[in-house]
Amino acid sequence: MPIALLLMASIFGFTNAHADDLKDITQLANQGQQAAALERINNYISSNPKDVQALFIRGVILAEQGKREEATKAFVDITEKYPNLPEPYNNLAVLYADQGQYDKARKALETAIKTHPSYATAHENLGDIYARMASEAYDKALQLDGSNTRALGKLSLIKDLFSSTGKPILLANKSPDTSKETSKETVKVVTPSNPIKPADTVKPAEPAKIVESAKPVETKPEPKAAESKPQEQTKSNSNDINDANEAVMAWAKAWSSKNVDKYLASYADNFQVPEGKSRSEWEKTRRERISKPKNINVDLLNLQLKLDDATHANAKFKQSYRAGGVAMKTNKTLVLKKSSGKWLIEQELTDH
């Protein structure tokens, strides 16, 4: 979830003698010339090391360039020099969340709120972080118990909340407000499409029914080895479902992160490519289409996995795809086969 750099000179309260320099730098960044903008802002800071606006702009440009470690250090330095500004803590949270470090993101947002209790952006982002952390917890519960329908229902609910309407998950500030007033201009980076419903409005999943035991029959009991077979089979099925689920989610994650090699490795050697194309032609087309957009976001909603047997499964879901200005939802089915211990895609069916 990259930080989109949409710096506009009009949002900055430039009051110093170098206002024109900072405006020119932000315009360069807006035009996609981040390298030139970074060089200019570094030169500016060397002469004006205490200019918080310039330091903040530098952090955002570094984040836009994908230099996450440098951007993180830049915002940490700002929090140390200007501990009463909430915006640097907020942007730190965006960077931490981008790396899956949700606990660090939570602490950064709590600090932002502590310094500025009326900072609405930080409150909203903190809610999103809690939802992400809950999602990880429910997912872990499913890994430990694949038959936990309650955890599955709650996980599906959270994924639906973060579904596609063109809105991302956290909000990153474009500039700090040095007057200690919360900056109202924000760059959307990751926000749920709808506010998260209060807990009392969410209908809980139906509890699992308890099956009464049948009366014992006075016959010779089965050997212990025979009794363990159904349990072993159930455990095996649960592991297969979890493994297939992880394979599908890894496929979507590789697509979203533009990891083309990992994405293509999700497909079996006998994958049914679109009619009229060879496997090599299809792979070349997929590489071009995945590499071209600056950002890609793929969400799988209402994922349902059906195990046909020990080596065959179907995954059905609603796919939410966003790239650049393109956004679409499609119903999709993946036909999976387990080969050498790995679940791979043999067929990809789309119903628009």
Digit-coded pLDDT (tens) for 295-333:
898 988 888 888 888 899 999 998 988 886 677 888 899
Dihedrals φ, ψ of 260, to 5°?
-65, -40
Residues of the chain with pLDDT under 70: 1-18, 151, 155, 157-237, 324-325, 352
| pTM as predicted | 0.45
Closest CA to 334 of 351, 325, 347: 347
List where CATH 3.10.450.50 sits in the chain: 240-351
Give the rounded percent of residues in the chain with a pLDDT score beyond 90: 24
**Sign of the alpha-carbon torsion through 124, 129, 130, 135:** positive
Cα-based angle 297, 303, 304 (whole degrees, multiple of 5)? 160
Task: Tell me whether residue 301 is exposed, middle or buried, using C-beta atoms within 10 angstroms of its C-beta: 0 to 12, 13 to 18, 19 or more.
Answer: middle
CATH dotted code for 240-351: 3.10.450.50
pLDDT for residue 90: 92
Report, at the CATH architecture level, how domain 9-198 is classified: Alpha Horseshoe (1.25)
Angle at which helices 120-144 and 102-115 pack, to 10 degrees?
160
Residues 182/84, Cβ–Cβ less than 8 Å: no
Closest CA to 56 of 114, 104, 98, 14: 14
Helix, strand, coil: what percent of the chain each, to 5?
50, 15, 35
pLDDT for residue 230: 55
pLDDT for residue 190: 30
Q: How far apart are CA 247 and CA 235, in angstroms?
A: 18
List where CATH 1.25.40.10 sits in the chain: 9-198
SS3 67: coil
pLDDT for residue 235: 57
Element (H, E) at 321: strand 312-323
Dihedrals φ, ψ of 239, to 5°?
-65, -40
